[in-house]
Structure formats: structure tokens, C-alpha cells
Amino acid sequence: MKAVAKRLLTLLLTMILVSFLTFAAFDIVSGDPAETLLGTQATPERVAALREELGLNRPFLVRYFSWLGGFFTGDLGTSYNYRQPVWGLVAPKLKVTLLMCLLCFVLVSATSIPLAIWSYRWVGGAMDWLRTGFNQLCMAVPPFFTGILVSWLFGIVLHIFTPGGFPDLHAHPWGAFKHLFFAAVCIGIPRAAMTVRMMRSTVVEEMQKAYVRTAISRGNDRSGVLRTHVLKNSLVSAITFLGQTMAEMVGGSIVVEQVFGIPGLGRFLVASISNRDYPVVQTIVVILALWVVLAGTVADVLNQIIDPRLRTGGKA
Amino acid sequence: MKQKKWNGYLRVGMVITACMLLLTLVGLFYAPYDHTAMNKAEKMLPPSSSHLFGTDNFGRDIFSRVLKGAGTTLTIALSTVVIGAVCGTAVGAVTGYFGGLVDEGLMRLNDALTAFPSILLALLIISLTGPGKYNVIAALGIVFIPSFARVTRMSFASLRDVNYITSARLMGASNARILLVHMLPNTMRVLLPAVTIGFNNAVLAEASMSFLGIGVTPPDASLGYMLSESQGMFAAAPWYAVCTGLTIVLLIFGVGLIGEGLQARNREVA
């Protein structure tokens, strides 16, 4: 329990550091938001009035803490570009991206772990060669390239979904699901290949340990030892890796949303960066970072539950 | 056991990478056509002997564009890896060798930086500095420092109390000499595979950023930028997307195989 509490404290500290860095960076660079909002034609009086209204005359730290508080109250300021509350703009897009990443995560976990176990049969030999080559090839395919091919084949030729026309999540859940599914597959292919590669080398390493030799010499068969002992011991590194995968998916989703025309966080982030809509950018960055740190924390906590040795803070 | 210098992965990877490098190098000095020259009479031509990869909607020769684009992508990826590896190894050496408070501080900062997916951090830096080739190199270079630092730190820390290092210290070797002459060559084992992975990530990151329109800006063309261009005309000129995409795939595949080979060689030694 103590280890979990310690991990959560680290999470909190990291998030405060991340949010502070983000806020400070944009505060330095973005210039005067009041002038940005009113344009170059505004009179100095109007700018001064707006600065007062937005609370820009307050000291830096006061503004930082009121912004940070906004994550709990839902008041994250106003978008420069849309003149609407940031949270109202971000929330529906967050839902779409979350759904896509979860879908991708399920796909990667469901395919890579069985594949890794299956590919364990071949160590050395021509099949091992082919398998490694194919694995490397899958890792080399950028998601936005598969995205172009997939949206052409399944969208334009087979009409399974409409590229660029993302249906409303609540009105047409099935249509939206199909759309997100293909995007998730594109993000997932290289990720799954990496997971297979990692899992397999862990299993191979684990199979050479003394306890496996003992188990086999006592008359257990290889696949039994694999299932009952080796897989459990490989679980810790698999969970850590999948936690990182969750984080990298967030990065992958930014590009793939663009390819498939999915109105998610990543696409909104890129548009907001181009429009210099800093309140929106700040918010999205902190949300994505929270996601990544959270995934890492969940993986760590799970590992501490599985492997008690990790709870004491010792090295595995 | 005698160490095998070359294995199959390494050989195949080297051949693919050497071919790609050679083509790009030649492309720097000679291309069949000017990569920006438009030709209204030859729009959207499929691949043929005069246009190896066909032409795009402006009648530009895609093969020449791919050569130029690969050059830009390679330049960015190599510069990024050099910045990341050199700075990262320096940080890793200092923190791993000396330890203590500096180590703690830098590693916490490292943790905070790795909280961002690499592409997100690069986007953030670009949103502050604006797009362009050199900004992309700087942004990605900074983004890649933490991962190199972490990999090398482990290696330096594990070497700190090894006998030959202790004896070098007793013989009066300076810290700089120990780090550079005795330790650095021994970290190559982990550094080289990390460089290949870093290179591939850099190619992907640059391509993603240019694809999103916040990477290189015209007249510079990179493979990612061309891929985003090609998506709009996929139905009319599929060869544009396919040729550009396959070039990226081959580039990453070749270097990926080298990395696989290096790791396989490490396993054989162990």
C-alpha cells in the first residue's frame, strides 16, 4: 500500500511539474492574449479593459494556480479562435480519442500476446528468420501510410466507412465504431509488432533460467512450464511495455486522426497550434500528458500487485 | 566462444541501408528532372521508363521528388540522432558516473520529459518556434536526449565500480580520461542499437510532423510532406503515395534490421 501511495505522489508531482512547464512556456511565448483577441485595430483602452476582464494583470503564480484549479472546476478559459469555453470544445473530442486509443490497446494486447507465445516455437532456423523479418517490416510501416491505403481500400472501394465523414458518436455509434476501428488497426500494427518482439525475447530469456530447467528435469513438458510459470514471470515486463504503448498511441493518434478525418484531440491540437490558440493547446497538452503518466502509474501499480518484490522499491 | 562479427540481419540491413543512402547521395547532385519543375503536358502519368515513379498533378517527376525528399528526411533524422546521442550520452555519463544530487535532479527532469509522447513534445516546441527544417531538427534533437540519457546512464553506472575502472582511477587517470577512454567504448554495446532505434523514431517523427503540416515548409520537401500531398490524389495517382510510403518503409526496415542484428550479436556474446 505504501508503495502505491508513493507512486501516486510521484504522479502528482510529475503532473504539477508538467503543467507548470507548459503554462510557463506558453505564457512567455504567446504574447498578450488581449491583443490577440481584439486584433491590431483595438484601442489601448479596450485592450486594458479586456486584460482586466481576463485577469491578465494578476501575478504569474496567481494565474497559474487559477488555471490549475480550472481542471477541477471545468473553467479552463476561453478559446481565442472560437470564443467559446475551452472545456466545452475539448470534451467531445477527448471522448473520441479515448475510445480510439482504448480500441487500439485492446487490439494490440489481444493479438500480440498470443502471437508472441506462438512464435516462440521457432528459435533459430529459417522460420525464425522469416518471422523476425516480417516483424521488422510491420514495425517499419508508418501508421499514416497504412492509413492512406486502408481508407482507400475499405472506405472508397469497399464502402465500409466514409473517409473524412466521421458520424456523430451518439447518433450513429456503429458507423463511428467502424471508422475508429480502422484507424485503431493502423496505429496498432507497428505497436503490436513491437510488443510481440519484446514479449518473445522476454519469454526466450525466461526459458533459459534455472527454474525452467528444474521444472523440465522433474518431468514437466515444455508447453506446460511455459503456461504455468514462464508466462506469469514475463507478465511484469509485458505490462510495463503495454503501459508505454498506451502512451505512444496518444502520439500515433495525432497523425492518424488527420488521415482518417476523425475529429479527435490530436487533430484539434494541430489545428489549434496553427491558429495559435494557446488556451486550447495548453489544455490538450496537459490532458495528454496526464494520460501518459496515468498509464505508466497504472502499469507500475499492477506490477506491484503481481510481483511483491517490487513493492519494497527494490529493483526487479 | 568466438564472436561472430556479422550475422544475416546485419548483412541484409546494411545492404538495404547502403542502397538507400547511395540513392539519396546521388540524388543530392543528380536527379532525372528538377524536383519542382512543372510540366502541364505530363500530369498524373503512371510509372514508365521516362518517369520511374510517374508524375503528380503538376506534372512533376515523382522519382526526383522522392530522391530530394529522402535527402531532407535523412538529413533531419541523422542530425536529430547526432544531437540526441551526443547530448544524451554526455548527460548519461555525468549522471551515471558521478551519481548524487545532479543524478537525482536530472533524472526527475527526464521523467517529466518522457511524460510527453515524443511527437507531442516536438509539436509543442514547434508551436513555440514555428515550423521549418532547422526548427524540426532542434525540436526532435531535444526530444531524443532523455531516451539516450537513460540508456547510457544505466551502462555508465554499471561500469562505475568494475575492477579495471578502479585500477585506472588508482593509477591516477582523470575522470575525463576514464569516461572517454575506458567507459565510452564499453557503452557502445547499448548505444549502437539505441542509435538505430532513435534513427527510426526520428524518421517517423519527422514524417509525421511534415505530414501534419508543421514540419518542413515548402520549397523543402520531405517524405512525410509528400505523403500528405499524395493523399488528396490517391484515387487519381496512387503511385505517388505508394512509392513515397514504400521509400519510408524501406528506410526504416533497413536500419531496423541493423538494430536487430546488433542486438543478436550482443546476445551471442553474452
Grid cell 536527379 is found at: B31
Q: Per-residue pLDDT for B204 more than 70? A: yes
Taking the Cβ of residue A148 and every Cβ of chain B, the question of whether any pair is shorter than 8 Å is answered with yes
Taking the Cβ of residue A132 and every Cβ of chain B, the question of whether any pair is shorter than 8 Å is answered with yes
Check B256 against A140: CB less than 8 A apart: yes
Taking the Cβ of residue B249 and every Cβ of chain A, the question of whether any pair is shorter than 8 Å is answered with yes
Rounded CA separation B51/A45 (Å): 62
Contacts of B227 in chain A (CB under 8 A): 144-145, 148
Contacts of B127 in chain A (CB under 8 A): 273, 276, 281
Short-list B71, B26, B41, B35, CA closest to B53: B35
Short-list A251, A200, A209, A258, CA closest to A229: A209
Give pLDDT, residue A31.
64
**Segment A143-162, tens digit of pLDDT:** 888 888 888 888 777 777 77
Give pLDDT, residue B82.
93
Short-list A248, A251, A246, A260, CA closest to A284: A251
Rounded CA separation A271/A278 (Å): 11
CA atoms in the 13 A half-sphere facing the CB of B126: 34
Give pLDDT, residue B270.
61
Nearest to B115 among A18, A152, A258 (CB): A18
CA atoms in the 13 A half-sphere facing the CB of A40: 0
Q: Per-residue pLDDT for A316 more than 60? A: no
Task: Count CB-CB contacts under 10 A for residue B97.
Answer: 18
Contacts of A140 in chain B (CB under 8 A): 200, 248-253, 256
Taking the Cβ of residue A187 and every Cβ of chain B, the question of whether any pair is shorter than 8 Å is answered with no
Work out the mean pLDDT of chain B and round it to a whole number.
82
Rounded CA separation B59/B185 (Å): 51
Q: Classify residue A167 by its DSSP letter.
A: P
Q: Per-residue pLDDT for B115 more than 70? A: no
Of all residues in chain B, the one with the smallest CA distance to A272 is B127
Taking the Cβ of residue A17 and every Cβ of chain B, the question of whether any pair is shorter than 8 Å is answered with yes
Taking the Cβ of residue A47 and every Cβ of chain B, the question of whether any pair is shorter than 8 Å is answered with no
Task: In chain B, count H helices and then E strands.
Answer: 10, 0
Q: Classify residue B41 by its DSSP letter.
A: G
Of all residues in chain A, the one with the smallest CA distance to B257 is A136
Taking the Cβ of residue A251 and every Cβ of chain B, the question of whether any pair is shorter than 8 Å is answered with yes
Rounded CA separation A221/A219 (Å): 6
B198 vs A170, higher pLDDT: B198
Give pLDDT, residue A59.
78
Q: Is the peptide bond before B46 cis (omega within 30 degrees of 0)?
A: no
Q: Classify residue A78 by its DSSP letter.
A: B
Q: Per-residue pLDDT for B223 more than 90? A: no
Of all residues in chain A, the one with the smallest CA distance to B223 is A145
**Segment B139-196, tens digit of pLDDT:** 888 888 888 888 888 888 888 888 888 888 888 888 888 888 888 888 888 888 888 8
Taking the Cβ of residue A261 and every Cβ of chain B, the question of whether any pair is shorter than 8 Å is answered with no
Burial of A92 (0-12, 13-18, 19+ CB in 10 A): middle
Taking the Cβ of residue A271 and every Cβ of chain B, the question of whether any pair is shorter than 8 Å is answered with no
Q: What are the sequence ranges of the domains in chain A?
A: 2-73, 87-312
Q: Which of A130-139, A196-205, B213-222 has the lowest mean pLDDT?
A: B213-222
Sequence-distant (6+) residues with CB within 8 A of B251 are A140, B17, B20, B70, B73, B74, B203
The dihedral through the CA atoms of A73, A79, A84, A89 has a sign that is negative
Grid cell 551519481 is found at: B99
Give pLDDT, residue A315.
43
Min Cα–Cα distance to chain A from B104, Å:
14
Check A22 against B256: CB less than 8 A apart: no
CATH fold label, B2-269: MetI-like fold (1.10.3720)
Under CATH, domain A87-312 is a member of which superfamily? MetI-like (1.10.3720.10)
**Tell me, what's the ipTM?**
0.79
B145 vs A3, higher pLDDT: B145
Check A132 against B9: CB less than 8 A apart: yes
Check B256 against A139: CB less than 8 A apart: yes
Of all residues in chain B, the one with the smallest CA distance to A270 is B212
Rounded CA separation A179/A185 (Å): 10
**How many residues does this entry show for chain A?**
316
Angle between helices B8-29 and B238-269 (to 10 degrees): 140
Rounded CA separation A210/A219 (Å): 15
Radius of gyration of chain B (CA): 22
Rounded CA separation B248/B242 (Å): 10
Percentage of chain A beyond pLDDT 70 is 92
Average pLDDT in the A103-118 region? Answer: 87
The span from the first CA to the last CA of chain A, in angstroms, equals 18
Q: Classify residue A316 by its DSSP letter.
A: -
Q: Per-residue pLDDT for B9 more than 80? A: yes
**Segment A240-282, tens digit of pLDDT:** 888 888 888 887 888 888 888 888 888 888 888 777 777 888 8
Rounded CA separation B126/B123 (Å): 5
Check A152 against B234: CB less than 8 A apart: yes
Give pLDDT, residue A1.
67
Average pLDDT in the B75-81 region? Answer: 90
CA atoms in the 13 A half-sphere facing the CB of A149: 15
Sequence-distant (6+) residues with CB within 8 A of A113 are A195, A199, A238
Most confident of the ranges A61-75, B58-72, B79-93 = B79-93
Short-list B128, B64, B107, B196, CA closest to A26: B128
Give pLDDT, residue B1.
42
Sequence-distant (6+) residues with CB within 8 A of B236 are B44, B57
Taking the Cβ of residue B200 and every Cβ of chain A, the question of whether any pair is shorter than 8 Å is answered with yes
Percentage of chain A beyond pLDDT 90 is 1
Coil, strand or helix: which one is B238? helix
**Segment B36-64, tens digit of pLDDT:** 777 777 777 777 777 777 777 776 777 88
Most confident of the ranges A37-46, A150-159, A195-204 = A195-204
Give pLDDT, residue B87.
92
Q: What are the sequence ranges of the domains in chain B?
A: 2-269
* A&B contacts, CB < 8 Å: 117
Interface test with B, best of A273, A290, A291 (most B CBs within 10 A): A273
Amino acid (one-letter) located at B202: A
**Segment A64-105, tens digit of pLDDT:** 888 788 777 777 777 777 777 888 888 888 888 888 888 999
Give pLDDT, residue A312.
64
Amino acid (one-letter) located at A34: A
CB–CB of A210/A280 below 8 Å? no
Check A140 against B200: CB less than 8 A apart: yes
Contacts of B229 in chain A (CB under 8 A): none
Taking the Cβ of residue B9 and every Cβ of chain A, the question of whether any pair is shorter than 8 Å is answered with yes
